[in-house]
Structure 1
Amino acid sequence: MDKSSCFHCGDSCKQTAITFQDKLFCCNGCKTVYEIFSENDLTCYYDLQSSPGAIPKEIAGKYDFLSNANIIEKLIEFNDENIQIVTLFIPHIHCSSCIWILENLNKLHPDISSSQVNFGKKNVRVTYNTTTYSLKELVLLLSAIGYEPYISLDDYKTGKQQINRSLIYKLGVAGFAFGNVMFLSFPEYFEVGEFWLEQYKHLFRWLMFAFSIPVVFYAAQDYFISAYKGLRSNLLNIDVPIALGISVLFLRSTVDISFDFGSGFFDSLTGLVFFLLLGKFFQQKTYSFLSFERDYKSYFPIAVTKIDANGEEKPIQVYDITKGDRLLIRNEELIPVDGILINGKAKIDYSFVTGESETVSKQSGDKLFAGGKQTSGIIEMEVLKSVEQSYLTQLWSNDVFNKNKEDSFTTLTNNISKRFTIVVLCIAFISTLFWLFYDASKALNVFTAVLIIACPCAIALSAPFTFGNLLRIFGKLKFYVKNASVIEQLAAINTIIFDKTGTITSNKKSTATYEGEDLSASEETLLKNTLRGSNHPLSRSLYDLLEDHNIITLNHFEEHLGQGIEASHNDETIKIGSSQFVGQIQDSSVLNTAVHISANNIYKGKFTFYNSYRKGLSKLFNSLKKQYDLVILSGDNEGELENLKKLLPTKTKLIFNQTPNDKLDYIKYHQTEGAKVLMIGDGLNDAGALAQSDVGISISENVNVFSPACDAILEASKFNQIGKYIKASKKAIKIIKWSFILSFIYNSIGLYFAVTGQLAPVIAAILMPLSSISVVVFTTVATNFLGKKLK
């Protein structure tokens, strides 16, 4: 770094240098930021990247509007008790240092509990304590350290960006210049001596120079900025050879026309930038299309119970919820929208949103926020606003619930690109040195052509476009995958573990018989209303089988995962669950799954279920057994052991009487033995196992038990297609490898002609973006073909 540059932001300090601790700063703002970081032991910020900061702006009074409660209510996404969560758009985020400091805001102020950066969207999601800290203070803190948020009050939304048309403008400038330079070059192309007179030759050449200036210094500036930042961080990114090629072309052409050596390569230069930007525009448009498909098509296939005007309960999809609807939220159900509590005792677990596991009690009339989970029986609420799928997606992708499942294939792509760049630069310099001795007139052409033709953009594009398109295809087929890395993980699995109840069994077709002492009318009413509050598949099945009874408000409701439910109303109590849970030590029959009942601590009897297995179960397992270790891991007793032995392949492991912790420990142990585990469960008792597995898939069947712990959600009707989705993930990896091979073949051929001096730079400038486009077309066509086979 230049010794006269600001230590914090990198700007020149020649006119107003401020020295502090033997370091130069361009202004008091940068010096203050350094002092703040030093006092809080955050100077590692400068180790990650040299001069990464921005100059803090004067913001006195600028954010006074953030003291207005109405405005704050519109800006924040969560506000309850002492916690608020807000997502702010930070335009200055540009490097690893930015991410590091913004994810360590808690060290700058103790009332900030967590902050998470989305680098792609340039936003930071901050959770803070509202009793001693405010949104205004947070924004002032961010501004003071050079990360002033952009807040649009046009529609009270944070981070709303205007449409970025800069690429279109740059493409227009480059296209206009390229067309005119080509036109001015025609006389020389066709050697028109009569027209190409001495008096016009120099005018035309200097006009071409003039047209190339905005192309180099405006249209191509992103490549220079990216290359500079990469080199400053000791990284060779894919823009380094591009920026070098543009610089060489411009300088060589300027020297040529200045000393009348020739007309230069302004046509090649403007053509290179134009086609580069055209490829980038195509890429951006494709990404926007995929993003649109992802945001609006991959809704979560979870339902919530709506109470209509006649008091009838019916499930509706979350995206059909509208303002004013009355919803029934059962125990362990997620609240999908903001609303007002009407009836019931609410104990809300907001850990999905805040990471804090402590439940919050709510009374009738209190506001409930989307993302909370009801943990104490049934509540009724009125909807304040319709569901926002983007918010649920954000909740699903919350880093609080993400394990470090390494995106190894993306890393491989980056490593290939980096090594490829080094190889290309070596080839360029070696071939140039050779031609300098052999034929100096061709040396510069060879150097430029090599840098242009061998850009590794095509390699970098193959993985995101393949996975992105497959995400969209999976979404259309009712398989909703969290992100692209899940597809890669899915392709690597070698062990598949299934839960039993609610996963391989369907609660829609179950039948049950009752054995035991008859229940009184009040006990039947209490039983029905207790089951009404539970989302366990057996509870839902039994609830549907029993006759309708009056709706009552329970005094107490508690669900013990893996054991059963207990509830009370007035002086009556009831327990529903396993024989041990209700106090019946010996179960006289374990031939079938049974739900036992005790009332007022007196054992009453049991409902014995005759499970209905999902369509295509046996065929699915038989197709999977050839490649995977298969396991049934169930919390139920061994009553279905013989039936499952008949249905499933002989090598399938059948393990029963497992608690949620047992399932998690089983997966963890086998992972230490080298297993790559896919866990398929119902999302209720299996949350821990889904989180521990390499890939966790939650089966959804008209119940709102969405779990952020899962990596994908599969609609129950598509259960028998699991094998096809895994197979498609494996084929996606093959598509990427084939695109690598195609790119390698293309670059090898292009490099041969470039190194031997047979490839003109302008032809290379056309071929390079075409290679990127061809990779995108290949991956898109291949994944679409894969999608048709899935259907």
Structure 2
Amino acid sequence: MSEHTCFHCGDDCSKTVIKFDQKTFCCNGCKTVFEIFSTHDLSCYYDLQSAPGAIPEEIQGKYDYLDTPDIAEKLIEFKDGNTQIITLYIPHMHCSSCIWILENLHKLQPAITASQVNFPKKTVRITFNSDRVSLKALVVLLNSIGYEPYISLDDYTTGKTQINRSLIYKLGIAGFAFGNVMFLSFPEYFEVSEYWLEQYKHVFRWLMFTFSLPVVFYAAQDYFISAYKGVRSKILNIDIPIALGILVLFLRSTTEIIFDWGTGFFDSLTGLVFFLLLGKFFQQKTYSFLSFERDYKSYFPIAVTRIAIAKHKKERKEENIQVYDIKKGDRLLIRNGELIPVDAILIEGDAQIDYSFVTGESESVTKQSGDTLFAGGRQLYGAIEIEVLKSVEQSYLTQLWSNDVFNKDKTASFTNLTDTISKYFTITILCIAVLATSFWLFVDSSKAAQVFTAVLIIACPCALALARPFALGNILRIFGKTKFYLKNADVIERLAKVDTMIFDKTGTITTTITNEVTYEGMQLTPEEESLLKNTLRASNHPLSRTLYDILAEQDILTLDEYHEHIGKGIEGKLEEDTIKIGSANFVGQNINSEIKDTTVHISTNEQYKGHYVFHNQYRKGVKKVFDQLSEDYKLAILSGDNEGEKEYLKKLLPKNTSLLFDQKPDDKLNYIKSLQQHNQNVIMVGDGLNDAGALAQSDVGIAVSENVNVFSPACDAILDASKFDTISVYLNLSKKAIAIIKSSFVLSFLYNIIGLYFAVTGQLSPVIAAILMPLSSISIVAYVTVLTNWSGRKLISK
């Protein structure tokens, strides 16, 4: 850093020089920020990038409006007690150091519990304690460290997002300059030697130079910035060879016209930038379309129970609806363990809400009738009824599901294909360019600059960078269209690497819709039947839902107590009567070895009454699915039920299928962990309820959704139960997608090898290279899109 350059923001401070800690600052604001960082052990911020901060502006009184409760209410997306969450748009966010400091805000302000950056959208989602820091103080803090948020109440009230039109402006300028430079180059192309060319050729050349200036210093600035940041971070990113190619073209062309050596390559330069930006625009538009179509097809196939109340308020009808059909004013039933999909008011029941999916805090909160409940909370105690305040926002649930908090363990050791290859690509190209240029300096120095330029241009890694996002984006669209919903594109790569598959039994390979249920035991009194029905009403377990549906209608009563013991059963209390529903051991009964089917036992007031026998109906195509999977995967069934159907499953499933019964949730998790310790990649397929731990532990967790709200951030994918028989097709398509990406890499490398041959031998002019490069990118995108669509035709036709 120069002694006249501000250590924090990098601006010239020759007029006002403030010395502190042997460093130079341009103002007290930058000095204060440095002091804050130093005091909170954040001075390594400056190791990421020299002078990364923006100069803090005068902010006295600027954010006073945030102290107005009505205005703050519009900005806050979550508020429960003293915990609030807000998402702010940060225009100054531009690099790795920005991400680092914004995700370490808790070190600057202890009242901030978490901050998560979404770099593509330039937003930061901040969770903070409103009793210890106000919204205004939070925004002032961001401003003081150089990250002033852009706040527009119109955007928050109308739901509009910030549209970045800079790419369109840059594309327009590059296209305008390219067209004019080509026009001015026509006399040189056709070697016109008349008087007017000799008279005006210098004017034409300097006009071309003038047109190239905004192209290089504005339209192409993102490539220079990205390359510079990569060098500063000691990372050879894929923009370095592009930036070098542009810079070499500009310097060489400028040198030629200054010394009257020739007309230069301004046509190649402006054409290169134009086609690069055109390819980026094409990628942006196409990928946005794919993402939109994926979201539009109902990203979450979860449902919720809506309560329809007749005019006399005596007749109540419960119906399952998709979450996107929820409307303001609807009355919803949220059972134990279910996710609250919308902001609502608690109408009836005892609410114990776990907001850990939203805030990261594991401590639950108690709510009473009339309190506001926010989307993303999970009910932990019985059933409650709520009235909807807002319709569901798919984008919010997507954000909740994709929260990195629930994915860190799986992504920590995962490196995708592009990252694996690209880190070797740049250094290889740079070595080839240097070696080829060195060779021509000795053989024919007049060709050296042309060779260096052509190598950097023709070896542009755009095609390499585009192949994976377009291929996997299209696969995500196909999967979503056929009711298989993935958290992100990385899940596809993990699916392709799996070698072991674990299945839960009840609610996963069996269906709870067509079960035949019989009762054996003592007759239940009307009071006991009512207590049984109302206790089952609060549970979301597949067997509970089946039993609830077949029992006679009863008056809906609010239980005094309700507890669900995962893997064992449920118990409820109303006044003096108690009931237990679950396994034989749970209700205090010795297991009858003669009973081979799945059973649910009942005891009231500590007296055993009897049991319901479920004659399980297995899903359509179970045998075929397991037969297909057994050819490529190790298979296992982990069930919490008894061994009643073990012999039947041995006959139904392939011989190499492992069968384990009486498995508690911890047993399933530990079993998967033991497989992973032996270097096996595991898929866990469960119902998303009792299998949350196993789903989270597995390399890929798939929750099978029937007609209940079983969404859990622990899973990586949600499969509609009607598509269970196509699991093998999804897995095969994942493998084909990776094969397509690899083949596109091969094509890209072949293109580069052929192009490099002509470039290194001095036979390739930069203008031809500038045209061929974006065409190769577009052809790669077309290649992977066509092949993934063709591979997915079988799935779509089903």
TM bracket, shorter-chain basis: over 0.9
Are 1:632 and 2:659 matched, yes or no?
A: no
Counterparts of residues 675-686 of structure 1 (less than 5 Å): 675-686=680-691
Residues 441, 91 of structure 1: CA spacing in aligned structure 2 closer, same or farther, 3 A cutoff? same
Identity level (%) = 72
The answer to whether the 8 Å contact 1:635/1:659 transfers is yes
Equivalences, count: 791
Structure 1 runs of 4+ aligned residues shifted over 6 Å read none
Counterparts of residues 37-436 of structure 1 (less than 5 Å): 37-156=37-156, 161-194=161-194, 196-310=196-310, 311-406=316-411, 410-436=415-441
Within 2, Cα distance between the matches of 1:451 and 1:392? 44
Q: State the AA in 1 paired with 2:752.
A: N
The answer to whether the 8 Å contact 2:496/2:734 transfers is yes
Residues 238, 196 of structure 1: CA spacing in aligned structure 2 closer, same or farther, 3 A cutoff? farther
How far has the Cα of 1:195 moved from its partner? 6.0
Q: TM-score, normalised by structure 2?
A: 0.97
The answer to whether the 8 Å contact 2:74/2:153 transfers is no
How far has the Cα of 1:415 moved from its partner? 4.4
How far has the Cα of 1:27 moved from its partner? 1.9
Q: Secondary structure at the match of 1:579?
A: coil
Residues 197, 685 of structure 1: CA spacing in aligned structure 2 closer, same or farther, 3 A cutoff? closer
Q: What residue in structure 1 maps to residue 570 of structure 2?
A: 565
How far has the Cα of 1:259 moved from its partner? 2.1
How far has the Cα of 1:410 moved from its partner? 4.7
Are 1:528 and 2:533 matched, yes or no?
A: yes
Q: Secondary structure at the match of 1:70?
A: helix
How far has the Cα of 1:352 moved from its partner? 1.3
The answer to whether the 8 Å contact 2:673/2:697 transfers is yes
How far has the Cα of 1:575 moved from its partner? 0.6
How far has the Cα of 1:479 moved from its partner? 0.3
Within 1, Cα distance between the matches of 2:16 and 2:343? 52
Q: Secondary structure at the match of 1:574?
A: strand
The answer to whether the 8 Å contact 1:19/1:25 transfers is yes
Q: Secondary structure at the match of 1:245?
A: helix
Q: What residue in structure 1 maps to residue 596 of structure 2?
A: 591
Within 2, Cα distance between the matches of 1:519 and 1:371? 38
Residues 521, 330 of structure 1: CA spacing in aligned structure 2 closer, same or farther, 3 A cutoff? same
Q: What residue in structure 1 maps to residue 313 of structure 2?
A: none
CA shift digits 1:200-222 (9 cap, x unpaired): 22222222222222222222122
Within 2, Cα distance between the matches of 1:197 and 1:348? 80
Within 2, Cα distance between the matches of 1:491 and 1:127? 36
How far has the Cα of 1:396 moved from its partner? 0.6
How far has the Cα of 1:295 moved from its partner? 2.9
The answer to whether the 8 Å contact 1:591/1:638 transfers is yes
Q: Secondary structure at the match of 1:386?
A: coil
How far has the Cα of 1:131 moved from its partner? 2.0
Q: State the AA in 1 paired with 2:236.
A: L
The answer to whether the 8 Å contact 2:48/2:232 transfers is no
The answer to whether the 8 Å contact 2:155/2:161 transfers is no
The answer to whether the 8 Å contact 1:151/1:160 transfers is no
Deviates most, 765-774 or 149-158? 149-158
Q: What residue in structure 2 maps to residue 437 of structure 1?
A: 442
Q: Secondary structure at the match of 1:724?
A: helix
How far has the Cα of 1:434 moved from its partner? 2.0
How far has the Cα of 1:178 moved from its partner? 1.2
How far has the Cα of 1:297 moved from its partner? 2.3
Residues 58, 517 of structure 1: CA spacing in aligned structure 2 closer, same or farther, 3 A cutoff? same
The answer to whether the 8 Å contact 1:563/1:577 transfers is yes
Are 1:555 and 2:523 matched, yes or no?
A: no
How far has the Cα of 1:287 moved from its partner? 2.0
- Pick aligned residue for 1:543 from 536, 544, 548: 548
The answer to whether the 8 Å contact 1:111/1:132 transfers is yes
Within 2, Cα distance between the matches of 1:755 and 1:699? 55
The answer to whether the 8 Å contact 2:106/2:112 transfers is yes
Q: State the AA in 2 paired with 1:168.
A: I
Deviates most, 132-141 or 635-644? 132-141
The answer to whether the 8 Å contact 1:151/1:157 transfers is no
How far has the Cα of 1:408 moved from its partner? 6.5
Q: Secondary structure at the match of 1:79?
A: strand
Q: Secondary structure at the match of 1:611?
A: strand
The answer to whether the 8 Å contact 1:104/1:115 transfers is yes
Q: State the AA in 2 paired with 1:656.
A: F
Q: State the AA in 1 paired with 2:301.
A: P
Deviates most, 617-626 or 545-554? 545-554
The answer to whether the 8 Å contact 2:294/2:481 transfers is no
Q: Secondary structure at the match of 1:241?
A: helix
How far has the Cα of 1:588 moved from its partner? 5.1
- Report the RMSD for the aligned CA atoms in angstroms: 1.6
Q: What residue in structure 1 maps to residue 775 of structure 2?
A: 770
Q: Secondary structure at the match of 2:617?
A: coil
The answer to whether the 8 Å contact 1:71/1:156 transfers is no
How far has the Cα of 1:785 moved from its partner? 1.1
Deviates most, 110-119 or 8-17? 8-17
Within 1, Cα distance between the matches of 2:771 and 2:412? 33
Residues 663, 409 of structure 1: CA spacing in aligned structure 2 closer, same or farther, 3 A cutoff? closer
How far has the Cα of 1:568 moved from its partner? 1.2
The answer to whether the 8 Å contact 2:224/2:243 transfers is yes
Q: TM-score, normalised by structure 1?
A: 0.98
Q: What residue in structure 2 maps to residue 750 of structure 1?
A: 755
How far has the Cα of 1:26 moved from its partner? 2.2
The answer to whether the 8 Å contact 1:150/1:158 transfers is no
Within 2, Cα distance between the matches of 1:181 and 1:542? 77
Residues 110, 202 of structure 1: CA spacing in aligned structure 2 closer, same or farther, 3 A cutoff? closer
How far has the Cα of 1:282 moved from its partner? 0.9
Deviates most, 561-570 or 128-137? 128-137
Q: What residue in structure 2 maps to residue 448 of structure 1?
A: 453
The answer to whether the 8 Å contact 2:245/2:453 transfers is yes
Gaps in structure 2 of 5+ consecutive residues = 311-315
The answer to whether the 8 Å contact 2:503/2:509 transfers is yes
How far has the Cα of 1:164 moved from its partner? 1.6
CA shift digits 1:749-776 (9 cap, x unpaired): 0011111111111000001111111111
Within 1, Cα distance between the matches of 2:593 and 2:302? 38
How far has the Cα of 1:452 moved from its partner? 0.5
CA shift digits 1:412-446 (9 cap, x unpaired): 52342232222212222222222222222222211
Are 1:760 and 2:765 matched, yes or no?
A: yes
The answer to whether the 8 Å contact 1:75/1:158 transfers is no
Within 1, Cα distance between the matches of 2:159 and 2:763? 50
Residues 215, 195 of structure 1: CA spacing in aligned structure 2 closer, same or farther, 3 A cutoff? farther
- Pick aligned residue for 2:469 from 461, 464, 475: 464
CA shift digits 1:711-751 (9 cap, x unpaired): 00000000111111111111111111101100000000001
Within 2, Cα distance between the matches of 1:779 and 1:526? 58
How far has the Cα of 1:156 moved from its partner? 2.7
Within 1, Cα distance between the matches of 2:247 and 2:742? 33
Deviates most, 359-368 or 239-248? 239-248
Within 2, Cα distance between the matches of 1:212 and 1:457? 22
Q: What residue in structure 2 maps to residue 700 of structure 1?
A: 705
Q: Secondary structure at the match of 1:151?
A: coil
Q: State the AA in 1 paired with 2:79.
A: N
Q: State the AA in 2 paired with 1:238.
A: I
Residues 788, 3 of structure 1: CA spacing in aligned structure 2 closer, same or farther, 3 A cutoff? farther
Deviates most, 544-553 or 695-704? 544-553
Q: State the AA in 2 paired with 1:112.
A: I
The answer to whether the 8 Å contact 1:253/1:264 transfers is yes
